A = this chain, B = another copy of it.
């Protein structure tokens, strides 16, 4: 125990990202380990939103649409682009992840005529599967759920598009984006990556890997706020042929001309649908400023170290009662999932002791580690709290 405490203190003292904790409005007494579900609020968000309401909305009024608001989806997209390995002009912020998956799948199907199967990760976050099922119904395609490890068994010349998660929401497992993308392309199909649990976790190389389309949320490791708008990536090479079904005026080439015909914007803005949700979008923009000057490789290194240290603490303090289901090698995101038959009851017990993780059916405890605001002493305290609660039960 003492050894772990000393190690935690030492690791925190040497943490090159420790200075970023001050950017977040978090109660210092609370160990918040649910940034994989809802990131903590960057301090600058409140001030920025206040300014948007009083000044941009209250004083500039309608003029703000032209001055700064209308193009905010692309502007905020440019702040996300470097976090996912996208060059300029390929990421736009709009709608929710679910809605963007719908756009991406339909657009991908339109790029693959003559093919009739939609392959979807069977272990996916449910909304991806629900949306894929609806797309299959609307386009007359067949839905093929498959465990990611068995992808090779189903790919073929019937495959139109494959929807995959880079990090599994339940186990925290990280999949090999390069290998899977290559396999899908070898089958002549298109791949759509869901980055919800990986954006802000590790360097992602969408452009370099030739990914077709990607979507992701901004309220987990990007800290954009509850339900903050999602993003969608459409690489330049596909923009001209990208035709998505939610063709609202937001994606029009000249929205304010208000012509009766829909003519999509030549660039990534064609992935927009309706009027952008400005308060949430500009809150997200402020939240993303925290990433300025932050090296993703360093974030990744700390995330692996933090989750590794947490696994070590759990092994030592509670290893005989809980099972670590997250990979112990580097094939993981920044979340550690533990299995325990009473997981559902453990979460509120730990929360009562101010250590916040979450629960997923039927028996999974999840602890997300955000390198921007979590530290090693917090990892140790979480493991110790878990062990303490379990001890009171035995």
Q: From residue A38, how far is it (CB to closest CB) to chain B in Å?
A: 5
**CB within 8 Å of B: which A206-233 residues:** 217, 219, 225-230
Indicate if A378 sits at the interface (CB-CB under 8 A): no
| Inter-chain contact B277/A228, CB cutoff 8 Å | yes
B99/A252 in contact, CB under 8 A: no
Does B130 contact A279, Cβ atoms closer than 8 Å? no
- The CB with the most chain B CB atoms within 10 A, among A49, A145, A230, A360, is that of A49
Complex interface: stretch among A62-70, A297-305, A328-336, A383-391: A62-70
Known contacts A25-B54, A130-B249, A258-B126; A279 and B228 CB within 8 A of each other = yes
Let me know if A41 and B62 touch, CB within 8 A.
no
| Chain A, 119-171, CB within 8 A of any chain B CB | 122, 125-127, 129-131, 133-135, 137-139, 145
Other-chain contact of A25, B58, B64, B99, B256 (Cβ < 8 Å): B58
- Indicate which residue in B25, B99, B217, B258 contacts A361 across the interface (CB closer than 8 Å): B258
- Count, chain A residues at interface, CB 8 A: 83
A326 within 8 A of B: no
Give bound CA distance, A250 to B95, whole Å: 13
Q: A26-B58, A30-B61, A138-B139 are in contact. List 16 more A-B contacts (CB 8 A).
A: A41-B53, A41-B54, A50-B50, A53-B283, A69-B226, A96-B248, A97-B248, A97-B274, A98-B249, A125-B249, A126-B249, A131-B246, A134-B247, A138-B138, A226-B275, A279-B283
Give the residues in chain B near A95, CB-CB below 8 Å.
Answer: 95-96, 99, 274
Cβ A65 vs Cβ B38 within 8 A: yes
- CB within 8 A of A260: which of B122, B250, B259? B122
Nearest B residue (CB) for A51:
B46
Tell me the minimal C-beta distance from A67 to chain B in angstroms.
12
Q: Is the interface of A mostly helix, strand, loop or mixed?
A: mixed
Question: Which residues of chain B have C-beta atoms less than 8 A from A273's C-beta?
Answer: 96, 98-99
Q: How far is the CA of A129 from the CA of B248 in the complex (A)?
A: 9
Bound CA–CA A324/B133 (angstroms): 51
How distant is the Cα of A41 from the Cα of B61 in the complex, in angstroms?
Answer: 9
Provide the bound-state CA to CA distance between A26 and B133, in Å.
47
Look across to chain B and name the residue whose beta carbon is closest to the beta carbon of A127.
Answer: B249
Are A279 and B98 in touch, CB under 8 angstroms? Answer: no
Contact between B278 and A227, CB atoms less than 8 A apart: yes
A26–B53 Cα distance when bound, in Å, is 11
